[in-house]
Amino acid sequence: MSIVMTGGGTGGHLTIIKAVKEHLVGENLIYIGSKKGQDQAWFANDKQFQSTHFLDTQGVVNQGILGKFKSVFMLLKATIQARKTLKDSKAKIVFCVGGFSAAPTSFAALTLRIPLVIHEQNAAIGSLNKLLRSKAKAFISSYEEQSPIRAYPIKNEYFEKSRIRENIQTIMFLGGSQGAKAINELALELAPTLKEKNIKIIHQAGERNISEVEKAYEALGIQAEVFGFSTKISDYMEEADFAIARSGASTLWELSAMACPALYIPYPYAAADHQFHNAKFLVDQDVAWIMREKELNVEKVIELLDENMHEKSIKLQSMIERDGALKIAQLLKSI
């Protein structure tokens, strides 16, 4: 009997699987994903999975008529393959984190009457998860009060390094490992003011932008710690008193677990505008700020630098539950 994990395409989905499976040591785990996206890079050589399967699939959303037809044909073929894998592995449950990678296995689970548990990372529910929700044994979302588990599955190190912020002595710009042009440009516009206020700069500029951004800081005569991808992101977050960041689910919940207040600048082309809705969830509770790219105003951002972060930091620390990944793993085993 095995636990089958499916979904991905992007790191936001795959991070959930990675976090949960760390609490399923000793279980017979199978991963079924897609040949497209990041699935193979993350899990093709992961020894915790007894076997991994990568199917030929692609997203249906944002495709033309011919593209949609091709995607549906690929989905049907992949669903048949997924059914065989579920039968051969004697799957007792399927854990779905969404994304086009998850579709074949999720549909196959339903046809075989295998319990399906869904984790939705974002405040705006993804197309596949929205379709599957009513058929699922459990639907987990940190944004919904009726969710059986409210804690977001992130590593405990983010909670362990949590601290209450006061005034801003260090600021962190987070554009993700690929970088964000709008955040990079905003950081460089703010840099002279940050220097005047003696605020240290930590800047995740993106792997491809490191050299360009470093040179820009040098031209301004300003010191900044610039990087792209980093395995010590939690250390940087711990040092920061305030962050300016994209609002992908992992980044948002990691900063929140750290009790680090942030100004979120959502990626404007995210599916269903989910990054905006992620950030709005926190803004509605008065623990964060949000500005769309087209509304970015340097003067308004500068005003935030004089804010006392104490109240928002305390609120964040009290509202964020821990052990999300452990609780999900326990739920899977109980079913």
Residue type, 67: G
Which pLDDT score, from 0 to 100, does residue 70 have? 67
Q: Are 126 and 297 in contact (CB under 8 A)?
A: no
Q: Which domain holds residue 187?
A: 157-319
137 and 203 belong to one structural domain = no
b/e map of 237-267 (b: 16 or more CB within 10 Å)? Answer: bbbbbbbbbbbbbbbbbbbbbbbbbbbbbbb
288 and 174 belong to one structural domain = yes
Q: How many CB atoms lie within 10 A of CB 93?
A: 21
Q: Which uninterrupted H or E stretch holds 190?
A: helix 181-196
Which pLDDT score, from 0 to 100, does residue 275 have? 96
Annotated binding site: 10-12, 122, 177, 275
> What's the total number of domains in the chain?
2
Q: How many CB atoms lie within 10 A of CB 301?
A: 18
200 and 122 belong to one structural domain = no
Which pLDDT score, from 0 to 100, does residue 190 have? 97
232 and 121 belong to one structural domain = no
327 and 314 belong to one structural domain = no
170 and 291 belong to one structural domain = yes
172 and 131 belong to one structural domain = no
Would you give per-residue pLDDT tens digits along the chain (335 residues)? 799 999 987 778 898 999 999 999 999 999 999 988 889 999 999 999 999 999 987 665 556 666 566 677 778 899 999 999 999 999 999 999 998 889 999 999 999 999 999 999 999 998 889 999 999 999 999 999 999 999 999 888 999 999 999 999 999 999 987 789 999 999 999 999 999 999 999 999 998 999 999 999 999 999 999 999 888 999 999 999 999 999 999 999 999 999 999 999 999 998 889 999 999 999 999 999 999 999 999 999 999 999 989 999 999 999 999 999 999 999 999 99
201 and 289 belong to one structural domain = yes
185 and 44 belong to one structural domain = no
143 and 180 belong to one structural domain = no
170 and 297 belong to one structural domain = yes
Angle between helices 249-257 and 11-21 (to 10 degrees): 50
Annotated binding site for UDP-N-acetyl-alpha-D-glucosamine: 10-12, 122, 177, 275
Q: Token digits for 238?
A: 């711990």
User: What does the alpha-carbon distance between residue 205 and residue 31 come to, in Å, rounded to a whole number?
Assistant: 32
CATH number, domain of 22, equals 3.40.50.2000
- The SS3 of residue 236 is helix
Strands 116-120 and 138-141: parallel
191 and 300 belong to one structural domain = yes
